[in-house]
Amino acid sequence: MTAIRIDRISKTFVSSRTGEQVVALKDVDLEVSQGEFVAIVGPSGCGKSTLLSIIAGILEPTSGAAYHYDAPILGPSPDRGVLFQDYALFPWLSVRQNISFGPRARGVPSSEWQQEVDRLISVVGLSGFDTRLPHELSGGMRQRCALARMLANEPRTWLMDEPLAAVDLQTRTLLQEEILRIWGEDQPPADRPAVMFITHGIDEAVLLADRVIVLGRRPGRVKADLKIDLNRPRFEHRDLAAEGVLVQQIWDQIRDEARSAILED
Ligand SMILES: Nc1ncnc2c1ncn2[C@@H]1O[C@H](COP(=O)(O)OP(=O)(O)OP(=O)(O)O)[C@@H](O)[C@H]1O
Ligand SMILES: [Mg+2]
């Protein structure tokens, strides 16, 4: 079943100051199946966040349309959970209040969400920290809290924009494994969410994803779409040689553009 369908989406930003136009996305077609983990990579400014924001329903395309399980995406929905790099926790709410925010906002009775929130707190390893405020947590803990907050809505689809970019390397490795476990790596695709995961880490994309999509820039478009045929669970069957070959293939696709992105910015 198709979870996300992007149908010839283009997005042009017009600067209100200078009138200058930036074509962030041009005629992008893309499908993500139910239970599929798709990573998006590409040089800075190629339109990754723009694409994710359109699927999240917080940005409208200039032309084309996006669908979630065949329904046109017209705005945000708890069905499509979003996780950004800067975690965007409510600073004045505790860990527990942040995680329970979604269910409470949707009017789920507390008898139903209390237990689930406790479970999520322990799943992301924050037991004992539930009354802390975000500024009292480390970066990795904040990101785990944000992950739990996304999961509390039981979204059918996870939209993640560089969720691990701000955490240290060790925490990142642990969270990568956690994400795959919570996603349901050992479950049949019908029982797990579709994931769109933006990252700058090509190695991370290869390690996590079933498919890696390379976006090119100026204008942003799909440049390559590679299937990652590595065994799962990935952390139990690491094949570093095979991963290395795939990383090299993907890097070959973006090297030149990544270089010009650095020079221009
Ligand atoms: N609100 C906006 N107004 C004007 N231009 C924008 C806006 N948002 C994004 N852009 C432009 O659209 C292009 C794509 O931006 P986007 O943030 O999607 O890139 P990205 O691939 O996520 O980059 P990065 O890897 O650095 O996060 C860039 O040239 C950016 O400057
Ligand atoms: Mg971005």
Residue 51 Cα to ligand 1 midpoint, Å, equals 10
Q: Is 78 in the pocket of ligand 1 (CB under 6 A)?
A: no
Contact 75, 221 (CB under 8 A): no
Residue 23 Cα to ligand 1 midpoint, Å, equals 9
pLDDT of residue 79: 94
Q: Is 22 in the pocket of ligand 1 (CB under 6 A)?
A: yes
Closest-CA residue, ligand 1 atom 24, reads 44
Residue 76 Cα to ligand 2 midpoint, Å, equals 18
pLDDT of residue 213: 97
pLDDT of residue 265: 62
User: For the range 201-204, what are the long-range contacts, defined as Cβ-Cβ under 8 Å and sequence gap of 24 or more?
Assistant: 201/164, 202/41, 202/247, 202/250, 202/251, 202/254, 203/243, 203/247, 204/39, 204/164, 204/172, 204/176
Closest-CA residue, ligand 1 atom 3, reads 13
Q: Is 45 in the pocket of ligand 1 (CB under 6 A)?
A: yes
Nearest CA to 143 out of 125, 157, 155 is that of 125
Residue 20 Cα to ligand 1 midpoint, Å, equals 14
| Pocket-testing residue among 16, 48, 53, ligand 1, by greatest number of atoms within 8 A of Cβ | 48
pLDDT of residue 202: 96
Closest-CA residue, ligand 1 atom 17, reads 49
pLDDT of residue 98: 95
pTM of this prediction exceeds 0.85: yes
pLDDT tens digits in sequence order for the chain, 265 residues long: 999 999 999 999 998 888 899 999 999 999 999 999 999 999 998 999 999 999 999 999 999 999 999 999 999 999 999 998 776 799 999 999 999 999 999 898 999 889 989 988 988 889 999 999 999 998 888 988 998 999 898 899 999 999 888 788 888 888 899 899 989 999 999 999 999 999 999 999 999 999 999 999 888 899 999 999 999 999 998 899 999 999 999 999 888 777 777 777 6
CA distances from 181 to 55, 60, 114, 206 (A): 24, 33, 22, 16
Contact 132, 94 (CB under 8 A): yes
Domains of the chain: 2-79+157-264 (3.40.50.300), 87-154 (no CATH)
Burial 236-263 (b: 16+ CB within 10 A, else e): eeeeeeebeebbeebeebbeebbeebee
Task: From the CA of 162, give the closest atom in ligand 1.
Answer: 27
Q: Helix 110-123 and helix 139-151: axis angle, to 10°?
A: 140
pLDDT of residue 87: 64
Q: Which helix (H) or strand (E) holds 71?
A: strand 71-72
Q: Is 153 in the pocket of ligand 1 (CB under 6 A)?
A: no
Using CA atoms, how far apart are residues 24 and 10, in angstroms rounded to an integer? Answer: 7
Using CA atoms, how far apart are residues 202 and 178, in angstroms rounded to an integer? Answer: 19
Residue 67 Cα to ligand 1 midpoint, Å, equals 22
